[in-house]
Amino acid sequence: MVLKQHSSPAPTASLLSTLDYDVAIAGAGIVGLTLACALKDSGLRIALIEAKPRETGLKQHRAYAITLMSGRIFQGLGVWQDILPSITPFCQIRLADSYDPAVVNLHPTDLGTDLGTDLGKDELGYVGEHCVLVQALLNALKDAETITWLCPAELVKAEYGTDAVDLILSIAGEPQPIRTRLLVAADGSRSPIRQHAGIGTHGWQYWQSCVTAVIRPEKPHENIAREHFWASGPFASLPLPGNRYQIVMTAPHAEAKKWVEVEESEFLAELDRRYQGQLGKLELVSDRALFPVKLMQSDRYTRSRLALVGDAAHCCHPVGGQGLNLGIRDVAALAEILRSAHERGEDIGDEQVLRHYERWRKLENLMILGFTDVLDRVFSNSWLPIVTVRRVGLRVMRIARPLKFLALRLMTGLSGREPELARR
Ligand SMILES: Cc1cc2nc3c(=O)[nH]c(=O)nc-3n(C[C@H](O)[C@H](O)[C@H](O)COP(=O)(O)OP(=O)(O)OC[C@H]3O[C@@H](n4cnc5c(N)ncnc54)[C@H](O)[C@@H]3O)c2cc1C
């Protein structure tokens, strides 16, 4: 099964200490790196295969909302103390429907007291830059003897046998065969591995795209995360260190494209209009980037000798900042299942073993995919009956503690089965 004709990734490959592995992780984005960390002391021999040079991830300044659950998983992995000083906790989420005055403010007290850990006592989540997460994960993997980096190396062929998968990597243009008991696809939403394993997907492209940028407001952001709903789509402002905001503006394709192309002053004037001048003078401190938005769920997360994680398995609308967080939970679940199968002497690539992972994660992810889809459709809507229902809904939410509690459990990742890593 050929994924791609051999290409010629530029620089040199890192060491190839052995050609046989228990787990080959294809893709060293945040999800792939987190899985390598979760398995590094399991006794399994891991190959980490990444097409781009290792430093690429350190140059990306895109930021993500990180849920309390992801924070706990990073804490369980021992990387949280490296991450926490460079990210921003947010202690309030402000939900608003365009100019409607019925703003809903969510606080840590709305989550209840039975959290079992200090994470979540004073905050509802965090915002961290890609490079910060990658650096902490790379630091944790630095001396791991069980991890072999194959980078830059592109996985170009996978042949699934009864006992192993035979992989061909392209390293500096040369084919390099390796053999592994299990292949994990952490190769992003287009996942050539998923496609060539014949795993179908369901989902759709939205009529919207997202514009991302970083701004610095004149007034302090006070660690407040804002999700404002406009008829064109959700508009999120996520607080970053240095009194900056990562903004994620969703709008129909043509409008989103326009906001990337207009003069900086016109873009900032639009933001100022949305904030109603509450943040003072705004400064744009990054380029603007445009992302198409899609929802996708793979029909299967596993087959014999293959597991899909992160965007390779599912993608969702960025509203609520859930996509990466789902991938981190996939990793915690898969690592737990692989570790215990290995301890029991079972074959970690066996379909029956991998099915436990699929059963655990597929439905939980589907719930969040559905939640983000409903949020986007209900709030990107100017049909009067829907506008009326959602404005009444926001007013009810302001006073109904159980509603706040349920929404927050979902958004913070605290609903669903808790992985063992999050309890350490
Ligand atoms: C506008 C926007 C805002 C978002 N905001 C948030 C947010 O606030 N919070 C959140 O949780 N999520 C957010 N997301 C979602 C998040 O960006 C993704 O879920 C996450 O980046 C997926 O990570 P990943 O590691 O699975 O995949 P990727 O980051 O795509 O990594 C895949 C890796 O695989 C490598 N690769 C691919 N093919 C091969 C191959 N054949 N061989 C070797 N290597 C290969 C690639 O080079 C890459 O490094 C947002 C998404 C968008 C579009």
Task: State residue 350 phi and psi, 5-degree precision.
Answer: -70, 140
For 406, residues 6+ apart whose C-beta sits below 8 A from its C-beta are none
Q: Is 73 in the pocket of ligand 1 (CB under 6 A)?
A: no
Least confident of 55-64, 114-123, 156-165, 305-314: 114-123
Kindly give the pairing relationship between strand 46-49 and strand 147-150: parallel
More confident site: 17 or 264? 264
Test site for ligand 1: of 33, 61, 64, 375, most ligand atoms within 8 A of the Cβ: 64
In this predicted structure, the answer to whether residue 41 has a pLDDT above a threshold of 60 is yes
Q: Is 188 in the pocket of ligand 1 (CB under 6 A)?
A: yes
Q: Average of pLDDT values for 204-214?
A: 97
Q: Average of pLDDT values for 97-107?
A: 89
- pLDDT value at position 379? 87
Q: Is 321 in the pocket of ligand 1 (CB under 6 A)?
A: yes
Least confident of 93-107, 186-200, 320-334: 93-107
Looking at residue 419, the DSSP 8-state letter turns out to be: P
- pLDDT value at position 114? 66
Mean pLDDT of the chain: 93
Can you name the residues that pair with 66 across neighbouring β-strands?
126
From the options 3.40.50.720, 3.50.50.60, 3.40.50.450, 2.60.120.920, give the CATH code of 1-92+124-204+295-424.
3.50.50.60
Least confident of 95-109, 169-183, 242-256, 320-334: 95-109
pTM, two decimals, is 0.94
How much distance in Å is there from the Cα of 190 to the middle of ligand 1?
A: 10
How much distance in Å is there from the Cα of 271 to the middle of ligand 1?
A: 27
> pLDDT digits over 121-176, tens only?
789 999 999 999 999 999 999 999 999 999 999 999 999 999 999 999 999 999 99
Alpha-carbon gap, residue 44 to 283, rounded angstroms: 49
Nearest-CA residue for ligand 1 atom 29 is 29
- pLDDT value at position 116? 62
| Cis peptide bond N-terminal to 177, omega within 30 | no
For 73, residues 6+ apart whose C-beta sits below 8 A from its C-beta are 34, 328, 329, 331, 332, 419, 421, 422
Domain spans in the chain, listed from the N-terminal domain onward: 1-92+124-204+295-424
- pLDDT value at position 3? 65
How much distance in Å is there from the Cα of 26 to the middle of ligand 1?
A: 13
- pLDDT value at position 8? 36
How much distance in Å is there from the Cα of 226 to the middle of ligand 1?
A: 23
Nearest-CA residue for ligand 1 atom 3 is 318
Q: Which atom of ligand 1 is nearest to the CA of 130?
A: 21
> pLDDT digits over 229-259, tens only?
998 999 999 999 999 999 999 999 999 999 9
Alpha-carbon gap, residue 44 to 21, rounded angstroms: 8
- pLDDT value at position 82? 97
Q: Is 375 in the pocket of ligand 1 (CB under 6 A)?
A: no
In this predicted structure, the answer to whether residue 192 has a pLDDT above a threshold of 90 is yes
Residue 385 to residues 56, 116, 235, 248, 373, Cα–Cα distance (Å): 48, 41, 22, 27, 19
- pLDDT value at position 14? 42
Least confident of 259-273, 274-288, 296-310, 368-382: 368-382
Q: Average of pLDDT values for 98-119?
A: 82
| Cis peptide bond N-terminal to 152, omega within 30 | yes
In this predicted structure, the answer to whether residue 13 has a pLDDT above a threshold of 70 is no
Q: Is 27 in the pocket of ligand 1 (CB under 6 A)?
A: yes
